[in-house]
Structure 1
Amino acid sequence: MSLARPWNRDKKKADDTVALEGYSRETDTRPYLGKWAWLVTLMGVTLTCFHLYTGYFGTLPSQLQGAVHLGLALGMIFILYPATRGKGNRTQVPIYDVILAFAATFTAYYKILFYEEVLRARVTGYSTLDLTTAVLGVLFVLEATRRTVGVPIVIMAGLAIGYALFGNFIPTQLLSHSGFALSEISPYLWFRESGVFGTPLQISARFIFLFLFFGVVLMHTGVGQYFNDLAFAITGRFTGGAGKAAVVASCLQGMISGSSIGNTVASGSFTIPMMKNARFRPEVAGAVEASASTGGQIMPPLMGAAAFIMVEYVGVSYREIMISALIPALLYFVGIFIGVHFEAKRHHILGLPKEQLPSKRRLMLEKGYMLLPLFAIVSTIMLGFTAQRAALLGIACAFAVSLIRKDTRPSLIGLLKIVEQGARVALPVIAAVASAGIIAGVVGMTGLGSKFAAGIISLADGVLILALLFTMLACIVLGMGLPTTANYVVTATIAAPALINEFGLAPIAVHLFVFYFGIIADITPPVCLAAFAGAGIAGANPMKTGFTAVKLAIGAFIIPYAFIYNPMLVMVDATVPGLLATVLFALLGIMGVSSAMIGHLIRDSLPWERLVLLAAGLAMVVPELVTSGIGLLAMAAVVWIQSRRPAHANLESLAS
């Protein structure tokens, strides 16, 4: 029996789209393209085929690869995404957007058409046409980003350009610089390797696109629904089974989607009603889905798009990024799982009846082959092949899997739609990394990175915990307006070097630190878009859902500090005994903190017990034997006290 059977899948797909609107600009495309639909299909298929070809036969020189990548993406964006969000603007493609599409594509392809001349101009000087193209190219990127991602990142990029232009007027010596003319800034950002076409866009053009396409192919094979069914089969019968199944399903789906909001809606349209039917409160149901879906970006093998940029910034292989990220990601999901368990125990929410659950045996025998693409991509990376090769093998395996069953076997038209959808999914990421390249380019051009680092060190006065707190706040605030990828590029460029150089921290630990806090902005009030999306499906109060998500995902605020102070968690200088002890205490610490947040351990907790559990949990996360031992004893004391308390004791009378 499949849990999905009572639902109409076409209706669910339409409901997903409606639910996403208002929370993510990524889905706010024109549904009717009229006579221009063929052009979008042609550009989308061309873009995907280009990446498949260069992934197999080898990429072009970086500037040419990036130009094709960005040029086609800009053309598609101006046709697909309206300038404003009014319904009237979404029903037709105005001629000015078609003109903008061709003009934007030309500005990127200018680098291809005049490749040799542009390279020589770095020495001989840029012509008026070069400068005009560069200015227009930057403006087109900013407008495309506004349409696909939103205004905040455009404002940041605009402020960065303004800083480059007028930095000489800043009175503070710490931030001021000599100032640059527009004729210096525009070619630097457009024709050099450190601006729009810098590392973020290059990684997008080489790796990220292929992995996004892999996720699209997997979803079209029905893997997402299979993950839901498998999660319910494994955990559905236990206490709070519907909530625990939602955590497992979102973890599995998040590995291939990489989008907090998209995953919240895709999984949540199924899991949230199930949790509500099981008597989880609406805000809890929405929060469980949002917090678990957000964690998909930190869960190997695919993680979020920024993980591929981390490869270049840290200078290690993607295999090493996966290995380093695995234990923290598992701790994150175990923390949410524990929180759901305590919430269910506190409100006496039982598991689902056996007749409502699919059969594990039947799922594995009939559809177990759906896991093959994931096994293929993980094993390929672990064997030392490049990320591009792994993605290509995963895509080929996913297509092969889709041919096994008639209901997932695509027709020729269906295949074209999948290939086009692969390009569509990548558009917001391409626009975001291009704008992030503007910010990173200005940082390099003006020396802002070293100035910001000096500012953090000065404010922290050489105290590591203060520097970490300031960096965390910067990541969360930036994450409230920037996509994760752009947020990571900015913080990895500005804040990470300060922590690495001043305090001698492990680079992988620092980069994962800023990566984590950029991601959890999606569930951190007041701008917690994933939580808002979950609340919309659950019919709950958005802010209550956001604060509940923070309580459930409290481990995400602790784990990054744990692996900074004990990099063994990210496999730096790890030994087997040390790693086992570290993971054990980290699990117990997260359990203590989660119990304090929910208010239940083995019984409902008194206020003072919650404080003790919070302190004990934090103490056990600290990589120091004495503090961990004290925390363990304190937690054991609370367990002993609660075990002696009657199950239905009146807490109010005990507290008084």
Structure 2
Amino acid sequence: MSETETKVIDRTDESSKVDLDELMRKYDTEARFRTLSGWQGKMIAVLAVAMSCFHFYTSGFGLLLAQKQGAVHLAFTLALVFLLYPASSKQSKTSGIPFYDFIFAAFGVASAMYLVVFFNDLVTRAGLPTRADLVMGFILIVTLLEATRRISNPILPGLAIVALLYCYFGRYMPAVIAHRGFNVARIVNHMYLGTEGIFGTPLEVSSTFVFMFILFGAVLEKTGLGKFIIDLSLSLAGWSTGGPAKVAVVSSGLMGTVSGSSVANVCTTGMFTIPLMKSVGYEPHFAGAVEAVASTGGQIMPPVMGAAAFIMAQILGIPYIEVAIAAVVPALLYYFAVMVQVHFEACRLGLKGIPWSQLPPIWPLLRSKGFLLIPLIAIIYFLLAGYTPLKAAFNGILISFVLSWLNKETRLTPLRTFEAFQSGARGAIGVACACATVGMVVGMGTLTGLALRIAGAIVSLAKVTPESGLAVALSSIVSLLPGATMAAEAAAAALTKVFTLFFTMIASLILGMGLPTTANFIVTSTMAAPALFLLGVPPMAAYMFVFYFGIAADLTPPVALAAYAGSGIAGSDPMKTGVTAFKLALAGFLVPYIYVYSPMLLFIDVVPIEMVQAIGTALIGVFLLAMFTIGFFKAHMAFYMRIIAFIGALGLMIPGTASDIFGLAVLALIFVVQTAKARMKAKAA
């Protein structure tokens, strides 16, 4: 190990005080698996590798029919969940697998594979299920709910149970959501044998695109890409003002392109970056919050985003690359906001970067391991060239394998490949359970028609009439501005849209506190996003809106899991870390509103000049927003100046030349005032 590497690693000695496994188990339910050895451990390893081999082979040489592919995918998933995850957190994680979990696993596999074995018979008698069909369907529903409870938490299966009960007891519900009700046979038939229940779009995407990209990430991790990304980030940003925090932002954003879990990202890169940030003077709660915000943003960072992005593409019926392209500008705004805030915080505290002598030199680093970035570049090329995400991931894995042999340290030996395939399967089963279970919620919506009723209810709740005081007041205020007028009818429509967006945001955040991001997106895209369609919001903008806020739930107290994981590493107060993370991610809460009102930021109906203006003013707006959250620009900002900065930020983010001019005037005012204040402080010193 070189002297340079030793100096950098010395700064992270504090991380050894943190039990990473315990931290993961505390905040990431998918990390609460059994630690097995002997024949049971080998059996699970072989089963996981077999699952990865099945998906790798079918992605390269031809998928099964969608329902068959999903059934095999689910059979592997249920077997692994029951063998890996105990029924209670109080059970020993090392005492072996109890006999009843083998029984659960057998029932789960049998009920899923029943669809594969008797597929032709089921197709010929579609709509007329036999008793055996319904019994197997009932068994699958029960085992799936239990598996999801074990690997996730009781909230998601609880939501599915409520959906099933609603299907049955619909006639007894209040008039606004009542329906005629369905018997058990009809419900099981719809959920098990139909294509809008368990084996609907979410599981179809999980069994194809999502699994392969998770496997791609696992393979890249085994080549040492994670360490290379951290070293590269240190070389690029470690020397600058507050460099370690910028390293956290860059490395976590890059790691997020190959990992879809906020908590896992925090624990992976945070073990290095958080102690490094603390070592140069950042407060513990701020260090934990920066890592949480940067890691969470990985799910919105192209080219490889969270699993929900693939489902979004499938729902919209468009190539995944279009979703990735649409996410580029919002992701850049998000990370630019975080980067500016950590810079202002470093300036406020007078922090410096890491000396050049303690950083890995960039050119030797790129020469020795720069090829590790080629698979990511190849993925982008394949997607742009029109390949399906499935084929792009397959080719990316092959390229990773070949390139890994260029360096002894990165070589994917048979043992490393086995471990990567095992890790890939383990990383995918949580998503598979969530997608299959939430499929029942989606199936409830299609069976009962509840989705459209909820959309109408949200719009009705948010509706503002032209005669209301709010509409009259808004039209009067706007009319006071030079050259601006607004009728009460237009004001009412504008307020209705704002309130609908706000209620949809709240629904996404609340669901996100208990559901995985993928499940959250599927539920909100089914139940809440249609309300935005009724107001004329483009489908891409509507789905991206709920996608963002589902992810933001990981940073929103009281259940901010990513922030709490960061606080565990930083040794800070969890709630204080969560509140700080919320402040740092404030741009992420405003950006979705921006692209709803200015869809060009998602590359929808682009007018080049207007788009350049929209992006430029949004970046400046984010700059002002950072002043508001940190309270510093050249010198400490008084409270009233921070409020002015926030108002100016809103002006620049709201589409329109008049509001942009107002925001720029605010920026000029703050620049003059803060520059004068900084000079006075310098003279006094």
Note whether the superposition's TM-score is higher than 0.5.
Answer: yes
* 1:533 corresponds to which of 561, 565, 578: 565
In structure 2, give the amino acid aligned to 1:218: L
Measured after TM superposition, the shift of residue 87 of structure 1 is 4.9
Matches within 5 A, 1:179-198: 179-198=181-200
Matches within 5 A, 1:130-141: 130-141=133-144
CA contact (8 A) 2:216 2:397 kept: yes
- Residue in structure 2 matched with residue 63 of structure 1 by the alignment: 67
**Identity of aligned pairs, percent?**
40
- Residue in structure 2 matched with residue 27 of structure 1 by the alignment: 31
CA RMSD of aligned residues (A): 1.7
- Residue in structure 2 matched with residue 162 of structure 1 by the alignment: 165
Measured after TM superposition, the shift of residue 649 of structure 1 is 4.6
Single out whichever of 407-416 and 538-547 deviates more from structure 2. Answer: 407-416
Q: 1:390-417, CA deviations, whole angstroms, 9 ceiling, x for partnerless residues?
A: 1011111111222222223243233222
- Residue in structure 2 matched with residue 653 of structure 1 by the alignment: none
Measured after TM superposition, the shift of residue 44 of structure 1 is 1.3
- Residue in structure 2 matched with residue 424 of structure 1 by the alignment: 426
Q: 1:420-439, CA deviations, whole angstroms, 9 ceiling, x for partnerless residues?
A: 11111101010010111011
Q: Give me the whole-angstrom Cα distance separating, in 1, the residues matched to 2:9 and 2:667.
A: 45
- Residue in structure 1 matched with residue 643 of structure 2 by the alignment: 611
> CA separation of 1:14/1:202 partners in 2, compared to 1, >3 Å: closer, same or farther?
farther
Matches within 5 A, 1:266-285: 266-285=268-287
Q: Give me the whole-angstrom Cα distance separating, in 2, the residues matched to 1:328 and 1:208.
A: 22
- Residue in structure 2 matched with residue 378 of structure 1 by the alignment: 380
- Residue in structure 1 matched with residue 211 of structure 2 by the alignment: 209
> CA separation of 1:508/1:142 partners in 2, compared to 1, >3 Å: closer, same or farther?
same
CA contact (8 A) 1:29 1:90 kept: no
* 1:246 corresponds to which of 245, 248, 253: 248
> CA separation of 1:434/1:365 partners in 2, compared to 1, >3 Å: closer, same or farther?
same
- Residue in structure 2 matched with residue 596 of structure 1 by the alignment: 628
Q: Give me the whole-angstrom Cα distance separating, in 2, the residues matched to 1:138 and 1:550.
A: 37
Measured after TM superposition, the shift of residue 647 of structure 1 is 5.4
Q: Give me the whole-angstrom Cα distance separating, in 2, the residues matched to 1:213 and 1:304.
A: 13
Q: Give me the whole-angstrom Cα distance separating, in 2, the residues matched to 1:354 and 1:646.
A: 29
CA contact (8 A) 2:12 2:276 kept: no
Q: Give me the whole-angstrom Cα distance separating, in 2, the residues matched to 1:427 and 1:255.
A: 19
Single out whichever of 602-611 and 412-421 deviates more from structure 2. Answer: 412-421
* 2:611 corresponds to which of 579, 592, 600: 579
- Residue in structure 2 matched with residue 356 of structure 1 by the alignment: 358
Measured after TM superposition, the shift of residue 576 of structure 1 is 2.4
- Residue in structure 2 matched with residue 121 of structure 1 by the alignment: 125
CA contact (8 A) 2:583 2:629 kept: yes
- Residue in structure 1 matched with residue 411 of structure 2 by the alignment: 409
Q: 1:456-504, CA deviations, whole angstroms, 9 ceiling, x for partnerless residues?
A: 110111611110000000000000000010011111111112211x111
In structure 2, give the amino acid aligned to 1:19: L
Question: SS at the partner of 1:86?
Answer: coil
CA contact (8 A) 1:603 1:647 kept: no
Measured after TM superposition, the shift of residue 380 of structure 1 is 0.7
In structure 2, give the amino acid aligned to 1:217: V
Q: Give me the whole-angstrom Cα distance separating, in 1, the residues matched to 2:588 and 2:635.
A: 25
Matches within 5 A, 1:500-539: 500=533, 502-539=534-571
Question: SS at the partner of 2:637?
Answer: coil
- Residue in structure 2 matched with residue 96 of structure 1 by the alignment: 100
Question: SS at the partner of 2:411?
Answer: coil
- Residue in structure 1 matched with residue 478 of structure 2 by the alignment: none
Q: Give me the whole-angstrom Cα distance separating, in 1, the residues matched to 2:403 and 2:571.
A: 37
**Structure 2 alignment gaps of length 5 or more:** 464-492
> CA separation of 1:13/1:377 partners in 2, compared to 1, >3 Å: closer, same or farther?
farther
1:366 aligns with 2:368: yes
Single out whichever of 636-645 and 82-91 deviates more from structure 2. Answer: 82-91
- Residue in structure 2 matched with residue 494 of structure 1 by the alignment: 527
**Structure 1 alignment gaps of length 5 or more:** 651-656
CA contact (8 A) 2:11 2:276 kept: no
* 2:673 corresponds to which of 627, 637, 641: 641
1:458 aligns with 2:460: yes
Q: 1:70-111, CA deviations, whole angstroms, 9 ceiling, x for partnerless residues?
A: 011110110011111125254311011011111111100010
1:297 aligns with 2:330: no
Question: SS at the partner of 1:150?
Answer: coil
> CA separation of 1:25/1:5 partners in 2, compared to 1, >3 Å: closer, same or farther?
same
Measured after TM superposition, the shift of residue 352 of structure 1 is 1.0
In structure 2, give the amino acid aligned to 1:355: S
- Residue in structure 1 matched with residue 472 of structure 2 by the alignment: none
Q: Give me the whole-angstrom Cα distance separating, in 2, the residues matched to 1:554 and 1:539.
A: 24
CA contact (8 A) 1:167 1:179 kept: yes
Measured after TM superposition, the shift of residue 15 of structure 1 is 4.1
> CA separation of 1:40/1:13 partners in 2, compared to 1, >3 Å: closer, same or farther?
farther
Single out whichever of 514-523 and 83-92 deviates more from structure 2. Answer: 83-92
CA contact (8 A) 1:33 1:93 kept: no
- Residue in structure 1 matched with residue 490 of structure 2 by the alignment: none
> CA separation of 1:277/1:87 partners in 2, compared to 1, >3 Å: closer, same or farther?
farther
In structure 2, give the amino acid aligned to 1:493: T
Q: 1:565-597, CA deviations, whole angstroms, 9 ceiling, x for partnerless residues?
A: 000100011132222111110011111112101
1:236 aligns with 2:238: yes
CA contact (8 A) 1:478 1:518 kept: yes
Single out whichever of 433-442 and 43-52 deviates more from structure 2. Answer: 43-52
Q: Give me the whole-angstrom Cα distance separating, in 2, the residues matched to 1:110 and 1:43.
A: 19
- Residue in structure 1 matched with residue 489 of structure 2 by the alignment: none
In structure 2, give the amino acid aligned to 1:567: P
Q: 1:591-630, CA deviations, whole angstroms, 9 ceiling, x for partnerless residues?
A: 1112101111221100110000000001110001101111
In structure 2, give the amino acid aligned to 1:587: L
CA contact (8 A) 1:235 1:245 kept: yes
1:74 aligns with 2:107: no
In structure 1, give the amino acid aligned to 2:143: F
Measured after TM superposition, the shift of residue 57 of structure 1 is 1.4
Measured after TM superposition, the shift of residue 200 of structure 1 is 0.3
Matches within 5 A, 1:327-338: 327-338=329-340
Q: Give me the whole-angstrom Cα distance separating, in 2, the residues matched to 1:241 and 1:413.
A: 37
* 2:343 corresponds to which of 341, 344, 354: 341
Measured after TM superposition, the shift of residue 190 of structure 1 is 0.9
Q: Give me the whole-angstrom Cα distance separating, in 2, the residues matched to 1:8 and 1:590.
A: 32
In structure 2, give the amino acid aligned to 1:594: A
- Residue in structure 2 matched with residue 400 of structure 1 by the alignment: 402
Question: SS at the partner of 1:41?
Answer: helix
Question: SS at the partner of 1:122?
Answer: coil
> CA separation of 1:307/1:405 partners in 2, compared to 1, >3 Å: closer, same or farther?
same
* 1:111 corresponds to which of 98, 115, 128: 115
Matches within 5 A, 1:612-631: 612-631=644-663
TM-score (norm 1): 0.96
In structure 2, give the amino acid aligned to 1:145: T
- Residue in structure 2 matched with residue 151 of structure 1 by the alignment: 154
Q: Give me the whole-angstrom Cα distance separating, in 1, the residues matched to 2:123 and 2:249.
A: 51
> CA separation of 1:593/1:104 partners in 2, compared to 1, >3 Å: closer, same or farther?
same
> CA separation of 1:392/1:12 partners in 2, compared to 1, >3 Å: closer, same or farther?
farther
Q: Give me the whole-angstrom Cα distance separating, in 2, the residues matched to 1:14 and 1:607.
A: 37
1:263 aligns with 2:265: yes
Q: 1:229-249, CA deviations, whole angstroms, 9 ceiling, x for partnerless residues?
A: 111111111111110111000
Measured after TM superposition, the shift of residue 376 of structure 1 is 0.7
Q: Number of matched residues? A: 646
In structure 2, give the amino acid aligned to 1:37: G
Q: Give me the whole-angstrom Cα distance separating, in 2, the residues matched to 1:447 and 1:2.
A: 60
Q: Give me the whole-angstrom Cα distance separating, in 2, the residues matched to 1:630 and 1:431.
A: 49
> CA separation of 1:90/1:143 partners in 2, compared to 1, >3 Å: closer, same or farther?
farther
Question: SS at the partner of 2:318?
Answer: coil
CA contact (8 A) 1:34 1:93 kept: no
- Residue in structure 2 matched with residue 654 of structure 1 by the alignment: none
Q: 1:272-322, CA deviations, whole angstroms, 9 ceiling, x for partnerless residues?
A: 000000110000000000000000000001000010001111121111111
